[in-house]
Structure 1
Amino acid sequence: AGAADMMGTRAPWLAFTGEHDAVDARSTVVFAHAPENDRAIHASHWFVRSEPAPSVAFSWAFFEEFTLEPGESCGYRYRLLIADGAWDRDRIEGRLAALDW
């Protein structure tokens, strides 16, 4: 799926793969939600763009704002995985499943 397809979606992870022209190689960058983020105070969605430059952000207020009352807090954890080569879905999911969060 392209960046426009992922904008505003909820998914456990998102990845960009890129080709490096000067060295004829590829790499993959994976952005992953920690498992406990599914139980967080508010759902997180992906904010994704591929133009003019690739960018990814975790958006807790993508569709609607939410309020934290005085004294309340929220926390989310993420992992960034940088891989040599163009990793496919199976390889990404296998690596993420093996992580000790």
Structure 2
Amino acid sequence: MDVKFTPKICFLWITPRFFTPNGDGINDTWKIDGLTEIQNPEITIYDRFGVIQQQFQGEVEWDGTRNGNQVLASDYWFKISYENTEGVPKEYKSHFTLKR
């Protein structure tokens, strides 16, 4: 019996690397495109002190608020938790900047 393995390549686009939620229609939200190709994605956004600012399931855009209030202009870190095709938990971490 021959078994073929075909790797599935997934590209995530974290856009933008900075965003300015000022209502001008340009980079007003932060989002990750391509999450529909990942199993059970959960995004957690942290401030520089490690405090969770927001958590999302699936593909969502963040407008720079927490509990309806604007968060400070600063650098933020995020983690994407997901399962690979074998069901093994994985994580991807990076950062972005919110400018006001």
When you count helix as a share of all residues, which structure comes out higher? 1
When you count strand as a share of all residues, which structure comes out higher? 2
User: Comparing both chains, which one has the higher relative contact order based on Cα–Cα distances under 8 Å and sequence gaps of 6 or more?
Assistant: 1
- TM-score, scaled relative to structure 1: 0.30
